[in-house]
Structure 1
Amino acid sequence: MFDTSKCGFIETLKISTMLNTMGHIFDDNELNALINHQDPENIRKVNFNSFCSIASHFLEEEDDESTTWKLKEAFRLYDREGNGYITTGTLKEILGALDDKLTGSDLDNIITE
């Protein structure tokens, strides 16, 4: 979503927005230090692995049982018939609601992947 040019990199200026979107709380100075560590040449872009390294620093540790319960609850909300699965159509609706810029083709590619 944030790699709008589909080049495999995101601009470092977007990282704070991404973390906010993901609901993470962070200290700007700490974030800047992590970005500087991942972008030592100051090209103002990082790849996916570097972004994950930065974002993981702000993730709260949860036990596996809590995470499993949350995932099951989220899945249950979209398992409308209660049959143990969600349709690809439902998944497309969810993804489309999360990012209204995704095209039908984008959604199809996500489902295929």
Structure 2
Amino acid sequence: MIKAKEDTTQALYKEAFNLFDKDKDGKITIQELGIVMRSVGSNPTQQELKDIAKEIDDGSGLVDFNKFSSLMTRKMKYSDSEADIKQAFKVFDKKGNGYANIQDLKHTLTSIGEKLTKEEFDNMLKDAKTVDGQIHVDEFVRVIKSSKSFN
């Protein structure tokens, strides 16, 4: 089942890539990368596109399908993880307003499952933007994704 999903996803990537590979040389331009990514369901910001270009451009200004496919596979895995984090966050969002109590999060993350130490939790949130002892879901996702244990 997973293999079939991967094959379908790869076929979708290939089809989108080929639409922009006008001269059929197996490459698209860095400038076209964002358009192709959006056509397969990703929505990178301009800054993300700049970062991606720095990472994958070998100086030619072109991206081959293998680099594109690898990038998209990694990005979609990351997006799935973000969705999982947001889904888990909902348990703590008692008012349904996108905010959770930091002490509730701390208690749970330091006492259930793969426990963090209180120090690890405090370090993870030390640079987080909080409001009245609350953290917004997007800020929580950012903090979790940037933590060493997530990567």
Rg (Cα) greater in structure: 2
Choose between structure 1 and 2 for higher RCO, CA contacts under 8 A separated by at least 6 residues.
Answer: 1
Q: TM-score range by the shorter chain?
A: 0.3 to 0.5
Normalised by the length of structure 2, the TM-score is 0.36
